[in-house]
């Protein structure tokens, strides 16, 4: 048992696979490199220089300052909006998925199979397909053009719920819950004190990908919001990009690029910070032990 | 990015489809025959004095200054200027809001090509009730006829885009090419330029609905005619065929740069001389000044090339109106703003900030005509634009579902740019696809 994995590793080492992985690595990194290189250029040198190398003055700091102050600092406002949507939307989605997944995994109640079918079905429906009906519904409620129109739909994550369900089923031994109950802990206490710590890797995983989904959300806010004051970064940057295509508009591609760089930094940080949870979370339930 | 945008446009078009159907169904039921109670100028003035707040959806950059001045003049009025998206994005949002019956702005910017769609869908207030008859002669003929539809006036022209030839004089001088005055000369110039410098192209084109329809317009084509819900589409008429056969020569010789307008590559080409001309609306100078500052002094303006030597025909390209959606709350106040921005003090503010007017008074004023453009080497470019505005071929109209039609332009006519298909054939496919859509929407398409 202890020697097998090592031997298997050696047998599988292949130059072809290494080369393919290296290619994938380059493929994934080139856009990032491009983004960084070009965010150091001015609008003028952006247009008359080679895309993958530096040119002209190193104006990254000027660009960052301009991005943050352009149009009365609207970028900062958009950043704040995105953070609001992520904290409440993704945070709420994670909390709901944890509660629901735990309940579905550890309690028996009538209609559980129905819930299962619904959740699995919902995983298959892309959010984009629901955006228009959601819009019409929210319009009836008078919620369009408010932050709620973005936050409420973000609270629902069928995939998160499914993942927490499988994770909770594997990670929490029924005996442990029994023991807690025998010792006199109430249901809430059992959940918070005994189960949540066991679920932590799963929670982080769900939090990470609902965060990514909300951070990158484009279509939903696009049809829900018209007031730029409530735009998340994705919509705001697109509005800046469109400015170049307007009669009398000022092209600000350099700020769009710098803004994009600033936009992905928090996500990169979150991933580097939480990646070990991410890995252990995704493989959970893959192997039965 | 590109595929995302494609996908989005499709979704937007699909949504628009739903909304247009609903609108047509509503107007077919015959309960909507009101002519509108007249609103006098005094009532509008009273609304301005009483104050209140209106929401304006527009992406046009100079409106910011107009709003500031307007609020200074009428201190009790608060204007909430919202950029709800550029062009198509904003139309989708507007259609959605109209369909949902909530969140509809009091004033919306709508391009001329999109106006019939909103007017026929009964989403806009007919402004004749406000006495727009008095504005006859205020606006240049092209834009003024563009805002009229079936006896009603559905917007006030904000700007216009009489077309002209913008060319990079350095490039023309370097290769000793004469500035073309006809389209045949233009094709010859394209060949000569590309032969002299394989990196340089006479212009860029990847298939642009606005440009194509404008050129057909100038050639005297009238491919779209609309009478109520009866629509005729004929993209094989004489004007359309003239355009197709000339432009086909440029495509066959690979003489146009495969660069999309408004992209970063486009701005680059305009700056480094690889895109040598643009035939485009008169609003372009402001874009050249801010987007291509490096080429200052190199560009010049000339009249649009002609289809017949010695003729003097022009067309409009782009341009927007300000309209009042029906569901808006305060129409009198909204009209007060409309008039201020399009025919009042707002016009001068907008021109000073680089917009191109649609009003006769400004187009004929000496200050305007004598303005020297340092960007064009001191040339008095407005003289050329004003002549173009006066020479716009009358009688043009867009489809009442032009927004959708333009959204499928690249799927049909775009084929001629990337395959062996002929432009004339792809125009026919565009016609068929548009007609099919029109029928689905309840129009009688002949």
Three state DSSP letters for B173-191: HHCCCCCCCEHHHHHHHHH
Residues B31-78 pLDDT 10s: 333 456 788 889 999 999 999 999 999 999 999 999 999 999 999 999
Q: Please check the confidence at residue A281 and state whether its pLDDT lies above 80.
A: no
Q: Which residue of B has its CA nearest to A144?
A: B103
Of B86, B268, B319, the CB nearest to A246: B86
Q: Residue B164 in contact with residue B304, Cβ under 8 Å?
A: yes
C-alpha span between B271 and B438 (Å, rounded): 41
Q: Do A145 and B293 touch (CB under 8 A)?
A: no
pLDDT band of residue B6 (cuts 50, 70, 90) is very low
pLDDT band of residue A56 (cuts 50, 70, 90) is confident
Q: Do A245 and B84 touch (CB under 8 A)?
A: no
Q: Residue A78 in contact with residue A91, Cβ under 8 Å?
A: no
Residue A273: what pLDDT?
A: 82
Q: Please check the confidence at residue A289 and state whether its pLDDT lies above 80.
A: no
Paired tokens of A10:
């050696």
B107-111 and B320-323: which strand pairing?
antiparallel
Q: Do A139 and B102 touch (CB under 8 A)?
A: yes
Mutation pick from A46, A231, A238, A247 vs chain B, by most beta carbons of B within 10 Å, is: A247
Question: Can you tell me the mean pLDDT for B346-368?
Answer: 93
Question: B218: alpha, beta or left, given left = phi > 0 and alpha = psi -120 to 50?
Answer: alpha
Q: Which residue of A has its CA nearest to B284?
A: A247
Q: Please check the confidence at residue A263 and state whether its pLDDT lies above 50.
A: yes
The answer for A 219-238 residues in CB contact with B (under 8 A) is 219, 222-223, 226-228
Please provide the DSSP assignment of B137-205 as one string. Answer: TTB-HHHHHHTEETTEE--EE----BEEEEEEHHHHHHTT-PPPSBHHHHHHHHHHHHHH-TT-BSEE-
Residue A3: what pLDDT?
A: 46
Question: Can you tell me the mean pLDDT for A103-121?
Answer: 89
Q: Do A246 and B62 touch (CB under 8 A)?
A: no
Is A179 an interface residue toward B (CB < 8 Å)? no
One CATH from 3.40.50.1000, 3.90.950.10, 3.40.190.10, 1.10.510.10 for B163-315+395-445:
3.40.190.10
A113 burial level (CB within 10 Å; 0-12, 13-18, 19+): exposed
- Mean pLDDT, chain B, whole residue set: 89
Question: Can you tell me the mean pLDDT for A120-142?
Answer: 85
Of B103, B284, B291, the CB nearest to A145: B103
A244/chain B closest Cα distance in angstroms: 6
Question: Can you tell me the mean pLDDT for A4-32?
Answer: 80
Residues B124-166 pLDDT 10s: 999 999 999 899 999 998 899 999 988 899 999 999 999 999 9
Between B97-101, B297-301, B359-363, the lowest mean confidence (pLDDT) is in: B97-101
The answer for A 235-274 residues in CB contact with B (under 8 A) is 239, 242-251, 253
Residue A8: what pLDDT?
A: 53
The highest-level CATH class for domain A60-283 is mainly alpha
* pTM beyond 0.95: no
Residue B29: what pLDDT?
A: 35
Listed in sequence order, the residues at least 6 apart from A68 whose beta carbon sits closer than 8 Å to its beta carbon are A75, A76
Q: Please check the confidence at residue B30 and state whether its pLDDT lies above 50.
A: no
Question: Can you tell me the mean pLDDT for A121-149?
Answer: 86
Is A72 an interface residue toward B (CB < 8 Å)? no
Of B103, B262, B293, the CB nearest to A245: B262
Three-state DSSP state, B359: strand
Q: Please check the confidence at residue B213 and state whether its pLDDT lies above 90.
A: yes
**Which residue, B190, B133, B143, B144, is CA-closest to B167?**
B190
Q: Which residue of B has its CA nearest to A241?
A: B263
Is B84 an interface residue toward A (CB < 8 Å)? yes
Query: Which residues in B lie closer than 8 A to residue A41 (C-beta atoms)?
Result: none
Q: Do B291 and A218 touch (CB under 8 A)?
A: no
Long-range contacts made by residues A52-57, C-beta under 8 angstroms, separation at least 24? none
Question: Can you tell me the mean pLDDT for A228-246?
Answer: 90
Q: Please check the confidence at residue A35 and state whether its pLDDT lies above 70.
A: yes
Query: What's the CATH number for B11-160+319-364?
Result: 3.40.190.10
Residue B35: what pLDDT?
A: 53
B290/chain A closest Cα distance in angstroms: 6
Q: Do A48 and B293 touch (CB under 8 A)?
A: no
Is B294 an interface residue toward A (CB < 8 Å)? yes
ipTM: 0.73
- Higher-pLDDT residue of A119, B338: B338
Q: Do A228 and B82 touch (CB under 8 A)?
A: yes
Q: Do A223 and B283 touch (CB under 8 A)?
A: no
Q: Do B267 and A250 touch (CB under 8 A)?
A: no
Residue B267: what pLDDT?
A: 92
Q: Do B92 and A223 touch (CB under 8 A)?
A: yes
Q: Residue B120 in contact with residue B339, Cβ under 8 Å?
A: no
C-alpha span between A235 and B84 (Å, rounded): 10
**Which residue, B332, B18, B359, is CA-closest to B157?**
B359
Residue A54: what pLDDT?
A: 86
Q: Please check the confidence at residue A282 and state whether its pLDDT lies above 60.
A: no
Query: Which residues in B lie closer than 8 A to residue A144 (C-beta atoms)?
Result: 97, 100, 102-103
Of A227, A244, A248, the CB nearest to B62: A248
Mutation pick from B2, B60, B262, B321 vs chain A, by most beta carbons of A within 10 Å, is: B262
Residue B403: what pLDDT?
A: 93
- Higher-pLDDT residue of B9, B423: B423
Mutation pick from B291, B316, B351 vs chain A, by most beta carbons of A within 10 Å, is: B291
pLDDT band of residue A197 (cuts 50, 70, 90) is confident
The continuous run of DSSP H or E covering A1 comes out as none
Residue A272: what pLDDT?
A: 85
pLDDT band of residue A284 (cuts 50, 70, 90) is low
Residue B250: what pLDDT?
A: 96
Question: Can you tell me the mean pLDDT for A182-196?
Answer: 88
The domain segmentation of chain A, as residue ranges, is: 60-283
Instruction: Please tell me the total number of residues recorded for chain B in this structure.
Output: 446
Q: Please check the confidence at residue B28 and state whether its pLDDT lies above 50.
A: no
Residue B13: what pLDDT?
A: 45
Is A129 an interface residue toward B (CB < 8 Å)? no
C-alpha span between B120 and B128 (Å, rounded): 15
Residue B106: what pLDDT?
A: 95
Q: Please check the confidence at residue B7 and state whether its pLDDT lies above 70.
A: no
* Range with the largest mean pLDDT of B10-14, B16-20, B138-142, B185-189: B185-189
Residue A174: what pLDDT?
A: 86
Is A127 an interface residue toward B (CB < 8 Å)? no
- Higher-pLDDT residue of B20, B335: B335
Query: Which residues in B lie closer than 8 A to residue A129 (C-beta atoms)?
Result: none
């Amino acid at each position: 048992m202890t020697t097998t994995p090592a031997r298997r590793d050696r047998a599988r080492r292949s130059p072809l696979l290494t080369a393919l992985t290296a290619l994938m690595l380059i493929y994934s990194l080139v856009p990032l490199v491009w983004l960084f290189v070009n965010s150091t250029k001015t609008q003028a040198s952006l247009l008359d220089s080679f895309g993958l190398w530096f040119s002209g003055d190193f104006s990254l700091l000027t660009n960052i300052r301009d991005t943050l102050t352009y149009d009365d600092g609207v970028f900062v406002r958009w950043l704040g909006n995105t953070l609001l949507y992520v904290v409440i939307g993704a945070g709420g989605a994670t909390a709901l998925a944890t509660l629901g997944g735990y309940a579905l995994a550890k309690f028996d109640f009538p209609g559980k199979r129905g819930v299962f079918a619904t959740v699995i079905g919902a995983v298959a429906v892309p959010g984009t397909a629901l955006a228009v009906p959601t819009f019409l519904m929210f319009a009836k409620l008078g919620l369009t053009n408010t932050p709620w129109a973005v936050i409420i739909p973000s609270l629902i994550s069928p995939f998160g719920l499914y993942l927490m369900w499988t994770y909770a089923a594997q990670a929490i031994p029924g005996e442990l819950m029994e023991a807690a109950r025998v010792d006199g802990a109430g249901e809430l206490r059992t959940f918070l004190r005994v189960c949540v710590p066991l679920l932590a890797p799963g929670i982080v995983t769900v939090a990470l990908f609902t965060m990514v989904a909300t951070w990158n959300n484009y279509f939903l806010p696009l049809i829900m919001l018209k007031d730029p004051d409530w735009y998340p970064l994705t919509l705001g940057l697109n509005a800046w990009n469109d400015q170049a295509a307007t009669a009398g508009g000022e092209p600000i591609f350099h700020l769009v690029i710098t803004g994009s760089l600033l936009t992905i930094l928090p996500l990169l940080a979150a991933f580097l910070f939480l990646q070990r949870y991410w890995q252990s979370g995704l493989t959970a339930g893959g192997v039965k032990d | 990015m590109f595929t995302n945008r494609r996908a989005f446009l499709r979704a937007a078009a699909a949504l628009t489809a739903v909304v247009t159907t609903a609108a047509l169904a509503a107007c077919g039921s015959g309960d909507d025959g009101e002519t509108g109670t007249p609103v006098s100028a005094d009532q509008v003035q009273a609304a301005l004095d009483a104050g209140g707040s209106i929401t304006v959806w527009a992406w046009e950059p100079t409106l910011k200054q107009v709003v500031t001045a307007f609020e200074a003049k009428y201190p009790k009025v608060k204007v909430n200027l919202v950029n709800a998206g550029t062009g198509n994005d904003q139309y989708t949002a507007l259609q959605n809001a109209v369909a949902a019956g909530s969140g509809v702005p009091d004033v919306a910017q709508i391009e001329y090509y999109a106006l019939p769609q909103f007017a026929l869908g009964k989403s806009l207030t007919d402004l004749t009730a406000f006495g727009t008859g008095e504005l006859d002669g205020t606006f240049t003929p092209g834009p003024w006829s563009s805002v009229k539809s079936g006896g009603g006036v559905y917007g006030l022209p904000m700007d216009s885009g009489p077309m002209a030839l913008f060319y990079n004089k350095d490039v023309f001088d370097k290769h000793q090419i004469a500035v073309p005055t006809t389209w045949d000369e233009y094709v010859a110039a394209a060949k000569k330029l590309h032969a002299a410098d394989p990196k340089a192209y006479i212009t860029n084109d990847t298939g642009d609905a606005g440009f194509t329809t404008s050129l057909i317009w100038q050639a005297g084509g009238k491919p779209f005619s609309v009478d109520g819900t009866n629509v005729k589409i004929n993209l094989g008429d004489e004007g359309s065929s003239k355009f197709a056969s000339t432009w086909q020569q440029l495509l066959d010789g690979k003489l146009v740069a495969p660069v999309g307008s408004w992209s970063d590559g486009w701005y680059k080409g305009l700056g480094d001389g690889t895109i040598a001309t643009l035939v485009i609306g008169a609003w372009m100078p402001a874009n050249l000044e801010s987007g291509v500052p490096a080429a200052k002094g190199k560009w010049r303006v000339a009249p649009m090339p002609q289809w017949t030597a010695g003729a003097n025909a022009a067309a409009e390209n782009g341009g927007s109106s300000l309209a009042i959606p029906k569901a808006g709350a305060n129409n009198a106040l909204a009209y007060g703003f409309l008039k201020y921005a399009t025919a009042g003090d707002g016009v001068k503010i907008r021109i000073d900030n680089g917009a191109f007017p649609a009003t006769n008074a400004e187009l004929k004023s000496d200050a305007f005509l004598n303005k020297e453009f340092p960007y064009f080497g001191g040339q008095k470019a407005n003289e050329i634009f004003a002549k173009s505005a006066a020479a716009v071929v009358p009688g043009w109209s867009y489809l009442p579902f032009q927004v959708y039609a333009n959204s499928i332009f690249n799927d049909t006519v775009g084929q001629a740019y990337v395959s062996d298909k002929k432009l004339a054939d792809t125009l026919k496919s565009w016609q068929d696809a548009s007609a099919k859509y029109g029928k689905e929407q309840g129009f009688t398409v002949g």
